[in-house]
Amino acid sequence: MKSARYTRAIMRSAVLGVAFLRLVAMPTPAAAETGAEAWLRYSALSPQAARAYEKLPRNTVLLGESPVLKTAQQELIRDAAQMLGRSLRIRTSSSPQNAVILGKLTDLHALVPTLHAPQDLRADGYWLKAAKIHGSECLVVTASTDRGVLYGVFALLSKIARGESLAAIDIKDIDEVQQPYAPIRWVNQWDNLDGRIERGYGGPSIFFTDGNVRSDLTRAGQYARVLASIGINGCTINNVNAAPGILADSFIAQVSRIADVFRPWGVQLSLSVDLGSPKVMGGLDTFDPLDPRVAEWWRKKADEIYRRIPDFGGFVVKADSEGRLGPSTYGRTPADAANVIARALKPHGGVVFYRAFVYNHHLDWHDLKNDRAKAAYDNFHPLDGAFDDNVIIQIKNGPIDFQVREPASPLFAGLRRTNEAIELQITQEYTGQQRHLCFLIPMWKEVLGFDMHVDGNPVPVRDLVAGNVFHRPTGGFVGVANVGMDANWLGSPLAMANLYGFGRLAWDPNLTAEKIIDEWTRLTFGSDPLVNQTIAAMQLNSWHVYESYTGPLGAGTLTNILGNHYDPGPESSEENGWGQWHRADHAGIGMDRTIATGTGFIGQYPPDVQKLYESLANCPDNLLLFFHHVPYTYALHSGKTVIQHIYDSHYEGAKRAHDFIAQWRTLEGHIDDERYRDILARFEYQAGEAVVWRDAICTWIYRLSGIPDDKGRVGTPPSH
């Protein structure tokens, strides 16, 4: 009943939309934009562009009636009307003439037994196929799951919105199968129950406020739509530094309301849990994972959750990490801890993500062999094979912590009999906190494409995490998103390219950064070539620019590591237990992680990768200081000394950040004023911050090394 009303409401708004479009002769200059629609703006196409879609069927038929399928049809009707100015009419399966037919393959076969997908459709994969059905031209959007149908609809809408392959939309030609690379494509939100978000830069939580679930969950539903549109199928709603109270029965009842608004979009809800819960809030005197009472506690808890949330996804666990309780309290292993929870979830089909971010933050920095980078591999590699089938080890992309550049974590190649997922950070904790432009897809692509040379064979990280290499039952991609109540979700309009890109890479890590940014820019700003080219180029350069005025040569972000992770603070990242970044002194700089003389971290990689990093001759310049300690006068492959490279890089980076202002100004009048002015102000701010960074790091290193800048810039007061 409710959904029929909703359908009518959608239809009404579509009809009104059409009426409105008829009144407006031509697309007006861009209207006010808040960013709330993200890349789902679906603005009216120009009459000329719309003509290319004239052959899109006039009707739509839905086979089945699940909430996800209904969402798919409503989305199609509404957005096609917005873009094309005409509304698809709903027909039943008895009259599928000239229709976009939506439904699972099994239902489609009942209608057209002869239609067979060209390949097996994996869960969530879809097939867009033009076909003559009962003598009339139809367009089929089909999949093996309801969710796949929804993804197929979003893909079709995206093509129309981007004006992609106009010829391909010719009803006779379209025949496209898309399959996700891996089953796990999730986001994590680090939301606290009081409404604050750890490392969130887009406003307060869309889920929680003052210790409760928000009464109005409109934004949570909109978020699920945004996620579904790029194929993301799971969302962990609370901070990995989990409040035990999340598991109180009364709270689960509240959380189930969030699951209700996710469900129509095929997004599974999951929770971060505190491993101490059985004791801290559960009434037991222990949380020892091997105690049968603890196992029973988790079983009952899981049963209770599934009673209220039948499609619940599972738990994320951060334990023995940064002060969190963990199995070490009882001399147990991460496998003991993960398995006790996994067994409680197993009968319901749930999974446990156990984070590999386990390290000692009271490390003795005087001991030059100590190295935080070694922790994940040291803790998890020996347990390979000890984890149950529904446990996934969630591994940060690099061995430290989302720095501006890190090598791929060696643990990706260190687990053969254990599921794994890569954890990428969409929220820009160490990369400018959404106040600096930093498009992270090129960085993620480098990691996903990094060849781990497993057993001497070429093996990119993307295949390891997808579970393809060692034939694991599951695996994939997790992104720490941290969207908030700000209208534009992440606090900065351009930062949304990272969320979009995460979803696209999780679906297909072989997509190029260029393709992803082109898609995002067209969807977000329209089809003006100047806008597309300018924004794409700025985004594609932005990571290198940020890296060059913060921490080049693999030195780490050089930010204030004990505080906000934003301002320059190179001294803070040394001489404390949280790990060592650069070991800079008067004679040299860099962390010696070699097998021969350093911490031995390089020894965690397969032999061919060891060869790459162990020798100074082979080690790439951009990771030199991550792996080696060298004198400031050491000559890079480029021929420059390390110190001169650092000076030049900071000056050049700050200049390039400043150039962003002029590049952006070329877009005045080509995009809406709101976003134009908002983003311009951000670039002006970033240019100033880049100078602060440049001067802080150059002065620091000049004082340490005593070596002047060849070009005479460092250490001299500014001339005006």
Q: Which is nearer to ligand GCW, 321 or 390 (CB)?
A: 321
Angle between helices 249-262 and 218-229 (to 10 degrees): 50
Q: Which is nearer to ligand GCW, 109 or 199 (CB)?
A: 199
Among 37, 164, 198, 673, which residue sits at the site for ligand GCW (rule: CB under 6 A)? 198
CA dist 690 and 479 (Å) reads 27
| Closest alpha carbon to 536 in 550, 547, 551, 522 | 522
Q: Which is nearer to ligand GCW, 84 or 400 (CB)?
A: 400
Helices then strands (H, E): number in the chain?
Answer: 20, 18
Taking the complex as a whole, the smallest distance from the CB of residue 561 to ligand GCW amounts, in Å, to 9
Taking the complex as a whole, the smallest distance from the CB of residue 243 to ligand GCW amounts, in Å, to 12
CA 457 remoteness from chain centre: 28
Q: Which residues carry out catalysis?
A: 322, 401, 429
The CB-nearest residue to ligand GCW is 401
Contact 317, 298 (CB under 8 A): no
Among 86, 89, 109, 199, which residue sits at the site for ligand GCW (rule: CB under 6 A)? 199
Residues 675-704, interacting with ligand GCW (CB under 6 A): none
CA dist 212 and 342 (Å) reads 27
Question: What is the SS3 assignment for 589-630?
Answer: ECCCCCCCCCCCHHHHCCHHHHHHHHCCCCCCHHHHHHHCCE
Q: Which is nearer to ligand GCW, 240 or 591 (CB)?
A: 240
Taking the complex as a whole, the smallest distance from the CB of residue 327 to ligand GCW amounts, in Å, to 17
Neighbours of 372 (CB within 10 A): 22
| Cβ-proximal residues to 113 (8 Å cutoff; 6+ apart), any chain | none
Taking the complex as a whole, the smallest distance from the CB of residue 572 to ligand GCW amounts, in Å, to 13
Give the CB-side neighbour count of residue 448, counting CA atoms within 13 A: 28
Per CB under 6 A, 576 contacts ligand GCW? no
Q: Which is nearer to ligand GCW, 138 or 206 (CB)?
A: 206
Token duo for residue 643 = 């110190």
Taking the complex as a whole, the smallest distance from the CB of residue 199 to ligand GCW amounts, in Å, to 5
Taking the complex as a whole, the smallest distance from the CB of residue 559 to ligand GCW amounts, in Å, to 11
Among 190, 287, 444, 507, which residue sits at the site for ligand GCW (rule: CB under 6 A)? 190
Q: Which is nearer to ligand GCW, 185 or 318 (CB)?
A: 318
Angle between helices 67-84 and 2-23 (to 10 degrees): 10
Taking the complex as a whole, the smallest distance from the CB of residue 375 to ligand GCW amounts, in Å, to 13
CA dist 344 and 275 (Å) reads 14
What's the burial of 620, exposed, middle or buried (CB within 10 Å: 0-12/13-18/19+)? Answer: middle
Residues 80-139, interacting with ligand GCW (CB under 6 A): none
| Cβ-proximal residues to 330 (8 Å cutoff; 6+ apart), any chain | 286, 288, 289, 290
Q: Which residue has the tokens 């367009």?
A: 139
Q: Which is nearer to ligand GCW, 204 or 606 (CB)?
A: 204
* H or E element in which residue 103 lies: strand 99-104
* H or E element in which residue 411 lies: none
Q: Which is nearer to ligand GCW, 574 or 684 (CB)?
A: 574
- Binding mask 417-436 vs ligand GCW (x if CB under 6 A, - otherwise)? ------------x-------
Q: Which is nearer to ligand GCW, 55 or 435 (CB)?
A: 435
Among 318, 522, 628, 656, which residue sits at the site for ligand GCW (rule: CB under 6 A)? 318
Among 357, 439, 626, 693, which residue sits at the site for ligand GCW (rule: CB under 6 A)? 357
What DSSP state is assigned to residue 376?
Answer: H
Question: What is the SS3 assignment for 669-712?
Answer: CCCCHHHHHHHHHHHHHHHHHHHHHHHHHHHHHHHHHCCCCCCC
Residues 222-281, interacting with ligand GCW (CB under 6 A): 239-241
Contact 577, 363 (CB under 8 A): yes
Question: Count of residues binding ligand GCW (CB under 6 A)?
Answer: 11
- Binding mask 143-182 vs ligand GCW (x if CB under 6 A, - otherwise)? ----------------------------------------
CA 47 remoteness from chain centre: 36
Taking the complex as a whole, the smallest distance from the CB of residue 374 to ligand GCW amounts, in Å, to 17
Among 75, 124, 288, 401, which residue sits at the site for ligand GCW (rule: CB under 6 A)? 401
Token duo for residue 201 = 């830069």
Footprint of ligand GCW (CB under 6 A): 190, 198-199, 239-241, 318, 357, 401-402, 429
